[in-house]
Amino acid sequence: MSGYVDHSIPLRHIVSWMNTRRLVFSLLLFVFPLIGVQAQIKTSFFKDIEIFGGIGTANYFGDIGGKDTADWPRDPFIMNFFDNLDIDWSTTRMGFSAGARFTRWNNFALSVQLSPIFLSGSDKDSNYEYRDLLFNTTVLEFSGLAEYYLAKRITGFAPYGFLGFGGLFSFGSANFTVNNLYQATKVNPYTHFNSGGVSTIVGIGLRLPALNRMTHSFDFCYHFTTTDLLDGLKTPRTSGDLFVTLSYKINIESYTLWTYDHRGLVK
């Protein structure tokens, strides 16, 4: 019949359209489980991660300052750790820390932290007051720690001990210079110095029960270093300088940052 127009859809187009639908449907069946698995892995991983921040005090032990130890036993072990060392409370400075903790286990955890620490020392009121030396130093320490808890971390008071190692870099100023014979000479203006080394960290702490999905903890630790230049004073001593920190920390389970809102309600 003249003027007739065939509006039917060719069979090949129908087949192509059906194949496209099958392909899209197959892709969705493949992708949706992956999204679920990825979300499950992400949630599981972050449930084992805590983030924390801390603030506290820092005190220096080293070659500037020191107690009169003339009557002490001359045992090498005692001399190595205590001779010429003291805490001068007037030179107590601040220390800070921030890091993350992996808490997969009830009584054990691994953490990493970055700690800017400020140190100061002087010969005032010490056995070496006649030298009148003083210094100020900033220490940047990045460390990894293994922590062992004597009780479950979340359920109650949990005393713990920790051991770790770190790398540190320090830079500071002092009112003296040191020659090749280890003799210090006072100068004005102050000289500047820097040093680097490794630290061994040993300490104890106490973790308080959880409150609003946060825990609070206190720790006290010694930082034994391989450098004798935290204070800028090089001496024939074989032991490095060390410092002590006392910290208060707030620990937050990381997944709660997106699970709960600012009112503590589930999002």
CA distance 15 to 20: 9
C-alpha span between 192 and 229 (Å, rounded): 11
47-106: pLDDT as tens digits:
788 899 999 999 988 788 765 454 555 555 555 555 445 567 788 899 999 999 998 888
List the structure tokens of 260.
Answer: 């709960």
Contact 231, 64 (CB under 8 A): yes
**Model pLDDT for residues 225-244, shown as the tens digit of each residue:** 998 888 888 777 667 888 99
Among candidates 221, 122, 116, 131, which has minimal Cα distance to 171?
A: 116
Whether residue 40 is predicted with pLDDT greater than 70 in this model: the reply is no
Supply the pTM of this predicted model.
Answer: 0.74
On the 0-12 / 13-18 / 19+ scale of CB atoms within 10 A, 109 is buried
